[in-house]
Amino acid sequence: GAVVSQHPSRVICKSGTSVKIECRSLDFQATTMFWYRQFPKQSLMLMATSNEGSKATYEQGVEKDKFLINHASLTLSTLTVTSAHPEDSSFYICSASRGHNTGELFFGEGSRLTVL
Amino acid sequence: GESVGLHLPTLSVQEGDNSIINCAYSNSASDYFIWYKQESGKGPQFIIDIRSNMDKRQGQRVTVLLNKTVKHLSLQIAATQPGDSAVYFCAEKRNNQGGKLIFGQGTELSVKP
């Protein structure tokens, strides 16, 4: 099946710094990528929808200036957590869509962010 | 609706028994549903999907049932094995919200040997 790679898988940073997480579709072109966050023992919460070459669409309550999303190519989307704080510590997961059918939606392995 | 802030319910079954995991959805416009399995520290894995023009779909050891009248989805796992222990999520594709995929609350399945 199609592969979506996230990097880094784990990152620890100091409060106030910014962290960038990459999401790559390795063997297909992803017209749309989605970013989710997940707190322990909770479900995945959609943060934003990212379309190649256009601005991301953020879900209600998600700060676009805090979570910067860039989808510069059909194989790469990045999420930057700016001025990270301990409450931003979470599991961030991306998914990539190969087509308009969401059935062709492939998930990355997630990135664990810990902000000290 | 979204399940943010709610903690996962748990289901404990004996190895070899059948498991039934339930999910309720709220959006009448959703026409495509997927069950995912998530192991600790990993991303979701696709298990099985179903479109709204069906009420049942079977895979290998898994069956998904869809009841659109009451907006209810279930996942049945036959002969549950220890390797099935994980968190299971249903997800719905919301056509009236740009086709985004929204996850349900999730259920933690624990299989006792």
The residue-averaged pLDDT of A30-47 equals: 93
**CB B104, CB B44: distance < 8 Å:** no
Residue A112: both structure tokens together: 């664990």
Residue from B26, B34, B103, B108 whose CB has the most chain A CBs within 10 Å, to mutate: B103
pLDDT at position B1: 38
* A46 contact residues in B (CB cutoff 8 A): 100-103
pLDDT at position A103: 56
pLDDT at position B6: 55
- Asked whether the beta carbons of residue A42 and residue B32 sit closer than 8 angstroms, the reply is no
**From CA A80, how far away is CA A24, in angstroms rounded?**
15
pLDDT at position B8: 81
Looking at CA atoms only, how far is residue A15 from chain B in angstroms?
A: 23
Question: Between the CA of residue A20 and those of A9, A16, A43, B17, what are the distances in Å?
Answer: 11, 13, 23, 44
Asked if residue B5 has pLDDT above 60, the reply is: no
**CB A104, CB A87: distance < 8 Å:** no
Looking at CA atoms only, how far is residue A114 from chain B in angstroms?
A: 13
For the segment B11-61, what is each residue's pLDDT rounded down to a tens digit? Answer: 999 999 999 999 999 888 888 999 999 999 999 999 999 999 999 999 999
Asked if residue A56 has pLDDT above 80, the reply is: yes
Residue A30: both structure tokens together: 């992803």
Nearest to A36 by CA among B13, B47, B36, B52: B36
- Asked whether the beta carbons of residue A43 and residue B100 sit closer than 8 angstroms, the reply is no
pLDDT at position A48: 95
Q: In the structure, what pLDDT confidence band is assigned to residue A101 with cuts at 50, 70 and 90?
A: low
For residue B49, give the chain A residue with the closest CA.
Answer: A103
pLDDT at position A51: 86
Largest CA distance in chain B: 44
A-B CB pairs within 8 A amount to: 65
Residue type, A35: W
Residue from A43, A51, A100 whose CB has the most chain B CBs within 10 Å, to mutate: A43
- Asked whether the beta carbons of residue B101 and residue A93 sit closer than 8 angstroms, the reply is no
For residue B91, give the chain A residue with the closest CA.
Answer: A44
For the segment B52-110, what is each residue's pLDDT rounded down to a tens digit? Answer: 999 999 999 999 999 999 999 999 999 999 999 999 999 998 877 877 889 998 999 99
